[in-house]
Amino acid sequence: MVLVYNARLSTHDVDAIVINQEKAPEVRRYAKVVAEEMGWPEDWLNDGVKGFMVGISFGNVIYSAPGVTVRTPEVAQLLAMKLSAWRDDVDIEDSSCLLQALMKSKAFNVEAVWSKIEPYITPEQKLKARYALLDLWETVYGDY
């Protein structure tokens, strides 16, 4: 959200998922080295987001170097994850930004948006995410 959408000035961690799970221990070791060198907390690279992942979408590449490619999820998946979490003002502000980005893709009503994000929502979070979307839609666009 900080790097791609300029949604806010800073973040306390970087949410990430290592696609190739065989490489996950290596990534954790490198993240620990980075934390030590930069004086950051050891948990700066946060894989807790995997609890909100259904499938994997491949959005834009935001960083690439030999051996590593960093991508964002598609906007619809990122919005689904934010609506599923819906914990605090940061999630609400991020969701608003993502909803507006998704609307650029011609999803003009709340049901069209729901159809784009629903496949990325975990079954146990569907009701929460649905209500969060309706609340967000009303705040951003008025009645649905």
Question: Do 26 and 61 sit in the same domain of this protein?
Answer: yes
CA 74, chain centre distance (Å): 9
Question: Do 84 and 129 sit in the same domain of this protein?
Answer: yes
Burial of 73 per CB tally in 10 Å (0-12, 13-18, 19+)? buried
Question: Do 50 and 84 sit in the same domain of this protein?
Answer: no
Question: Do 44 and 65 sit in the same domain of this protein?
Answer: yes
C-alpha closest to that of 122 among 88, 69, 86, 68: 86
Question: Do 23 and 48 sit in the same domain of this protein?
Answer: yes
**In sequence order, what are the beta bridge partners of 123?**
none
Question: Do 93 and 132 sit in the same domain of this protein?
Answer: yes
Question: Do 100 and 42 sit in the same domain of this protein?
Answer: no
**39-47 long-range CB contacts below 8 Å, 24 or more apart?**
41/13, 43/13, 44/12, 44/13, 44/14, 45/13, 45/14, 45/16, 46/13, 46/14, 46/15, 46/16, 47/15, 47/16, 47/17, 47/18
CA 132 to CA 22: how far, in whole Å?
A: 35
User: Which residue, of 23, 40, 71, is where some domain finishes?
Assistant: 71
- pLDDT for 144: 67
- pLDDT for 104: 85
Question: Do 13 and 67 sit in the same domain of this protein?
Answer: yes
For 91, the domain range is: 75-141
Question: Do 44 and 66 sit in the same domain of this protein?
Answer: yes
User: Which residue, of 40, 71, 102, is where some domain finishes?
Assistant: 71
Query: What stretches in the chain show pLDDT beneath 50?
Result: none
Question: Do 41 and 94 sit in the same domain of this protein?
Answer: no
Indicate the number of domains in the chain: 2
User: Which residue, of 71, 98, 128, is where some domain finishes?
Assistant: 71
Question: Do 86 and 65 sit in the same domain of this protein?
Answer: no
pTM, whole model, 2 decimals? 0.83
Question: Do 52 and 87 sit in the same domain of this protein?
Answer: no
